[in-house]
Amino acid sequence: MNHTITKKRPYSFNALLSSLSSQVPDEQATWEQNLSLQAEKFYGQHSIQKKQENAAFIPTQRMLRDLITGTASSGGDLVATSVQKVADSVRPVTVLERAGVERIETGGENLTIPRFAKADAGWIAEGADYTALTTTSTSVDASPKLASARLSFSRRLKVLVPDVEGSVLQEVGRAVAGLIEKGAIQGTGSNSQPLGLLNLPDALSQTFASATPTSDELASMLEKLGDADVDLSKVVFLMHPSTAADLMKTRVDASSGALVLSDLKIHGLPVFITSNVTEDKVIALDPSYSRLVYFGSAQVVVDPFRGAVSGVTHTQILNAADFVCSHQSSVVVGSA
């Protein structure tokens, strides 16, 4: 499906917020609203706004290649870049994606991801029958869980649009990233939350003697992953900033000058830091078995009547998302 956009001006998230916060219809974000309608049709979505609310869908990364905005000489690059910035803001790259977890953007209501049990293997003598293939396949299902990042903006956005677009997008990205990361790491799998890394029932575990793990204990986490046939060259560590700071000051052993965490690596493997891992835990995982799944487009919902007296625009950024791990033994959680 191709979409032709003839308007040659940058996409303005602030103009969209101002339009949605208006209590009467206006035309200041007509182009942004047209893109919202295209996103709605592209994914077959339906708005979940309440009667008193205004809402718009934001184009996704997947849609960008279908948005024909013209040549660079006619402003196409500027238009595409502005749409990209907003798409990146409402669905920012999380620490999990930087660590190697794949992002999937899809339509529909569910996504089934296959997983395979380990197959038997062996050598076949000349003239002998082939060994029966014992590989079995099962699946793990991703289903939409609604993540709502709530923010409040001053109504002064209407007069400061040219100056604060970048700041607004940065704040939106920070709020959404924190929410999605927390669900993928700490989610309980109940109350409409994803099942996060810390709560996977079949994840491996490692006990630490104290709050700050030793070099040997962290190596033992790798040993457990290796015993589960995980490719150790793909493994990464996730930890809280305080844990990382402690490990940056901890020696490998009493007689060594080497630090446990140096240059954001432990035992030669990369370390990623986020406050969404609790301070008393360290996660080691092969991210190739995990997926962060988004369903349809993100939606911006504004109640133009709430906060009307105080001059504050109450905004929700809604993402239908899920986190799944197809091989839970690719994850080990260490804790004291």
Q: Where are the domains of the chain?
A: 3-97+143-191+296-321, 197-291+327-335
For residue 310, what pLDDT is reported?
A: 64
CATH architecture of 197-291+327-335: 2-Layer Sandwich (3.30)
C-alpha to C-alpha distance for 155 and 305, rounded to whole angstroms: 12
Give 3-state DSSP helix, strand, coil % of the chain, rounded to 5: 35, 30, 40
Q: Which residue has the tokens 């029958």?
A: 129
Token pair recorded at residue 37:
């309608």
Residue 134: per-residue pLDDT: 62
Q: What was the pLDDT predicted at 159?
A: 54
Instruction: Please state the pTM of the whole predicted model.
Output: 0.86
Inter-residue contact 142 to 110 (CB < 8 Å): yes
- The pLDDT assigned to 66 comes to 63
127-160 per-residue burial string, b: 16 or more CB within 10 A, e: under 16: eeeeeeeeeeeeebebebbebebebebeeebbee
Low-confidence ranges of the chain (pLDDT < 50): 1-6, 69-74
* Predicted local confidence at residue 105, as pLDDT: 93
- Per-residue model confidence (pLDDT) at position 3: 46
Q: Tokens in use for 172?
A: 């939106």
pLDDT at position 160 is: 53
Which residues 6+ apart lie within 8 Å of 93 measured at CB?
A: 177
Q: Which residues contact 164 (CB under 8 A, 6 or more apart)?
A: 14, 157
What pLDDT sits at residue 36? 93
